[in-house]
Chain A
Amino acid sequence: MKSYFELFGITPAQLRAVVEEGLKGGNWCDLYFEQTVYNDLLLRDGVVASGGFHFDYGCGIRVLSGEKTGYAYSESTDIQSLMDAARAATSIGGNCGRIGTPAIKTVPPEIYSMQLEWGQADKHALAAWLERLESAIRARESRVAKVIAMLSWSESEILMYNSLDELSSDSRPLGNVTVTIIFAHEGRTEQRSVSRSFRCGSEMLTDTLIDELAAEAVAGLDDSFAARRPKGGRMPVVMAAGASGILLHEAMGHAFEADFNRKGQSIFCDRMGKRICRRGINIIDDGTIPGNRGSIRYDDEGVPGQKTYMVSDGVLTSYLHDRISAGFYGVSPTGNGRRESFRYNPIPRMRTTYMESGSDGTLDDLIASVRKGVYVDKFANGEVRIGEGDFTFYVNRGYLIENGRLTMPVKDINIIGNGPQALADIEAVAGDLKIDNGTWTCGKEQSVAVSCGIPSVLIKNLTVGGE
């Protein structure tokens, strides 16, 4: 812990003094010190000729009075600046004293695999890796017109302290590779994006990853050029294992975030303990998968990362809690209090959201069971209206299903449904759970890194956009 005190130029006594100042305006105070260095290298037009780094440093101070929040931050961590920020945060006013829900008293295991620190990496070698990635893509496909490849990585040093005298720290790496490829063929163009993100060091940049990304970038390209818009309307949808986890994130995960429920906004706010989908379905939000983009050793309130069953055997069993909602509901925080940076107060956020494998056979079985519908496997983005539960996600790639077989390729369609109804309409869950390792980012008020996964599922009825 000593190095963190040195990094932020603060002593334990000063931490306590700032918290005491905060407690003059509330009954909880916590401090979140952060130093993050973001780096990027960009390959465009065949060369890595752009790059940089960005240094962000500061401390956020939160004072709670019951469920009410006072928040301020300082980009300087000298004691005077911190005391000023603490006083600004006390402006929420109200109950004083010292309360709060203690975090689970365990030291979480190391879940970030940092074999080669990014800071020690040779930038020439990183640039060369990007160049090899482009070469591998071009070697597989002659219709490549342009390749834009971005390698970015960040290292965050975080120190947290609160009015329960809990002190925790985290050192979070995050590496991202995103490749956008423009293909040209007989006067037509197509665009693909593939990505990977892991909480690890530069050891992620292997030849195996190059092969994986290159293969994914060009897979099924003929079908993409041939793809058309389907006839739109309501129909069964088979969602492939992996990235289809966006369904869980948008349709269910947000509605299970406890702040939306505490405020009576979520369509699930009166469904705790009730059956919301068929038996056998388990939906999880997990911060403990080693190296995963959504994993966090501690959340941004100093609560150890956890694996949280939101739906067990079809029954809603837990919301996703920060300390505020945990206090409100009288439960332990689930380690979902997350924030974009020290500039933001933490709120309930997902980590890696997925459904456990089912026992309804294979993807092929699911497809074979559909007379007329669509199969989807590549996605861009999604959104949800919390009150109504209406969610959408954008499909980059899929196929029509006709008489149990994949036929015409389709692309660029949005799919819309209603969360509770879609959950109830899950007819089959295959046994092929896959976590997607793309660069998923959730944008609820603040941007945080997340991930998702799902086994192949069949949903009886969703609305598919089309002609």
Chain B
Amino acid sequence: MINAEEIRLAKESLEYALAHGAGAVRITLTKSTEDLVATLDGEVDKVTRCADRSMSIALFVDGRFGSFSINKLERSALEDFISKAIETVRMLSPDSFRKLPDPARCCRTAVSGREMEIYDPAYSAVTPEKRRQAALDAAVFGKEFEGARLVSEEGEYSDSEYDTYVIDSQGLECRHTETSFDYGVEVTVEDAEGNKYSDYWWTASPRLESFDASQCGLTAVRRACAQIGSSPAPSGKYNMVVRAEAASRLVSPILNALNAYSIQQGNSFLVDSEGKQVFSPGFSVLDEPWRKGESGAKLFDGEGVATAPAPIIDEGVVRRYFVNTYMSGKLGVAPTVEDAIRPRVCGWPSPGLDEAALMKMCGNGILVTDFNGGNCNMTTGDFSYGIAGQLFEDGKPVRPVSEMLVTGNFLTLWKNLTAIGEDWRRCATKLIGALAFSAVDFSG
């Protein structure tokens, strides 16, 4: 955790910058520790210990702006660093839109850093032996599985502590601390013909008491085995259901396209969309940054601006661009927050649906269980992704498919939305359930 000496160093650095020519300053101090135990085939393979500190400094000098960081937090090094940074900023062109956020918009409630209740004091009681045991307990290597042999299992248990402290020259002072307990596993299985199939699973929790990795290995093996015998389905238009764990691939480009940097540069397929019906009326996304006890919850953004629950997309209408102070000036619009903090995609047409219900609604189609590569053209919304999954008929999987591509345009795709599930994983920072669309182009 950031200690009193480090806080003093941050405050002194801020004062030093102001005294040496900066008109305004923001300092972000971060400190983290992470311990990791990795297993290979049921045995401990790697143990790592990470401890990081860093100071980031945003400098506003003579109407100019620069950002800098350093991990050598010694007073003499810092003073030299800040002096050189100020010198560098003075060489840049002026930019009148660069300024600190209005103090009235800044967070005043993040005092201890623990307000979101995602810091677990039990973190400090985790011993190296407990970490080893947690990693070994989660491993499933050596167990028998029907129809396949587990040839490789790589697991990683880790626990970590993050602490962020932000101050600026207008009196901002806020803090955020969190812990995280994580386990991820990648498995490779081999079928009777010697064909290999790989897959993964993971879990995370900010609290040790709710951390449970016991099913991760089995889930990863089950997912890998589900692909045995996969082959492409014929090219054509299909209904598409996307499994909750993979659905972020279809939502993140929309959130990125709402970022004011992309809007201002014209590098977004959602330019001029604010207040307009762009998507299906079934598509609503809320930002819920204040969900206490849940991963990703946070009271302030990178500028120290207070977060708040807000609609991002409401029944298909774009309600919010992510506009920081700089972009607010450039675009001449009111600022919001820098990014979606903890977005939740609302269930539709009824609450509580899951992947099975969506497949049943669709009847026939392709269930996408994972994406493999691909990209999106941010100016047009055109996308093309590799996929693996299951062909389904009458709502039931009939055979695995792989080496296929799904291609389309995000604006068209989301107009063809047919249902949204609420089977998201609470350990994810974006709460997105299974998604169903009609008339999607698959190539195989």
Q: Which residues of A contact B (CB under 8 A)?
A: 41, 44-45, 47-58, 67-76, 85, 88-89, 91-92, 123-124, 127, 145-146, 148, 180, 182, 184, 189-191, 229, 232-234, 250, 263-265, 267, 343, 345, 380-394, 411-418, 463-467
Chain B residues numbered 122-161 whose CB sits less than 8 Å from any CB in chain A: 128, 151-152, 154
B382 contacts A by Cβ under 8 Å: yes
Candidates B45, B68, B383, B388; contact of A53 at CB < 8 Å: B68
**Contact between B198 and A388, CB atoms less than 8 A apart:** yes
Q: Is the pair B403, A416 in contact by a Cβ cutoff of 8 Å?
A: yes
Would you call A55 and B72 a contact (CB within 8 A)?
Answer: yes
**In contact, B72 and A189 (Cβ under 8 angstroms):** no
Q: Which 4 pairs from chain A and chain B are nearest by CB? A: A232-B443, A387-B198, A392-B373, A383-B373
Interface centre among B52, B232, B403 (most CB of A within 10 A): B403
B19 sits at the interface (CB 8 A): no
Q: How far is the CA of A58 from the CA of B88 in the complex (A)?
A: 24
A263 pairs with B48, CB closer than 8 A: no
Q: Considering the chains assembled together, what is the distance between the CA atoms of A304 and B154 in angstroms?
A: 30
Cα distance A71–B267 in the bound complex, in angstroms: 42
By the criterion CB–CB under 8 Å, are A67 and B45 in contact?
A: yes
B438 interface residue (CB < 8 Å to A): no
Could you pull out 26 A-B pairs where Cβ atoms are within 8 angstroms?
Answer: A49-B92, A50-B65, A53-B68, A54-B69, A55-B70, A70-B47, A71-B48, A123-B91, A182-B266, A233-B443, A233-B444, A263-B154, A264-B151, A265-B151, A343-B52, A345-B48, A381-B375, A383-B374, A385-B372, A387-B189, A392-B372, A392-B373, A411-B382, A412-B380, A412-B384, A466-B407
CB-CB contacts below 8 Å: B379-399 with A: 379-380, 382-386, 388
For residue B422, give the distance in angstroms from its CB to the closest CB of chain A. Answer: 29
B197 within 8 A of A: yes
Extra contacts besides A51-B92, A387-B224 (13): CB < 8 Å: A47-B95, A49-B92, A123-B88, A182-B265, A232-B443, A263-B154, A265-B198, A390-B386, A392-B386, A394-B384, A412-B383, A414-B385, A465-B405
Q: Given that A418-B403, A466-B407 are known contacts, is A55 also in contact with B69, CB under 8 Å in the complex?
A: yes
B196 near A387 (CB under 8 angstroms)?
yes
Q: Which of A53, A58, A189, A418 contacts B380 (CB 8 A)?
A: A189
Contact B50 A73 (CB under 8 A): yes
Question: When chains A and B are docked, how far (Å) is the Cα of A464 from the Cα of B403?
Answer: 10
Contact B95 A191 (CB under 8 A): no
* B8 within 8 Å of A (CB atoms): no
Contact A416:B48 (CB < 8 A) given known A127-B92, A391-B373: no
CA distance A146 to B41 in the complex (A): 52
Q: Which of B89, B266, B388, B407 contacts A184, CB < 8 Å?
A: B266
With A and B bound together, what is the CA distance between A51 and B92 in angstroms?
Answer: 7
Q: Once the chains bind, are B375 and A52 in contact (CB under 8 Å)?
A: no
With the chains together, A312 CA to B420 CA distance in Å? 51
- Asked if B83 is at the interface of the complex by the 8 Å CB criterion, the answer is no
Q: How far is the CA of A392 from the CA of B249 in the complex (A)?
A: 16
Find out whether the CB atom of A465 lies under 8 angstroms from the CB atom of B407: yes
Chain B residues, CB < 8 A from A345: 46, 48
Q: Considering the chains assembled together, what is the distance between the CA atoms of A191 and B268 in angstroms? A: 10
The verdict on A51 contacting B380 (CB below 8 Å), with A92-B46, A189-B266, A390-B402 known, is: no
CB distance from A25 to the nearest CB of B (A): 10
B22 at the interface (CB under 8 A from A): no
The reply to whether the CB of B112 lies closer than 8 angstroms to some CB of chain A is no
Rounded to whole Å, the gap between the CB of A338 and the closest CB of chain B is 17
B83-116 interface bits toward A, Cβ cutoff 8 Å, 1 = contact, 0 = none: 0110011011111001000000000000000000
Enumerate chain B residues within 8 angstroms of A184, measured Cβ to Cβ: 266
A412 lies within 8 A of B196 (CB): no
Is the C-beta of B429 less than 8 angstroms from some C-beta in chain A? no
The distance from the CB of A279 to the nearest CB of chain B, in whole angstroms, is 26
Measured CA separation A146–B373 after assembly (Å) = 28
Question: Is B64 interfacial (CB-CB < 8 Å)?
Answer: yes
Chain B contacts with A in 230-274, Cβ cutoff 8 A? 232, 235, 265-267
A251 → B minimal CB distance (Å): 11
Minimum C-beta distance from A368 to chain B (A): 25
Measured CB to CB, the nearest residue on chain B to A67 is B45
Q: Are B71 and A387 in contact (CB under 8 A)?
A: no
**Contacting residues, chain A, for B53 (C-beta < 8 A):** 75
Contact between B407 and A394, CB atoms less than 8 A apart: no
How far does the alpha carbon of A394 sit from the alpha carbon of B265 in the complex, in Å?
23
Closest Cβ neighbor of A72 among chain B residues: B49
Q: Of the candidates A76, A145, A415, which one forms a contact with B266 in the assembled complex, judged by CB atoms under 8 Å apart? A: A145
Output the least CB separation between B401 and chain A (Å).
Answer: 12
The answer to whether B266 and A382 touch across the interface, beta carbons within 8 angstroms, is no
A53 close to B88 (CB less than 8 A): yes
Interface residues of B in 175-217 (CB under 8 A from A): 188-189, 195-198
> How far in angstroms is the closest Cβ of chain A from B245?
16
B280 at the interface (CB under 8 A from A): no
Interface pair A414/B375, CB less than 8 Å apart: yes
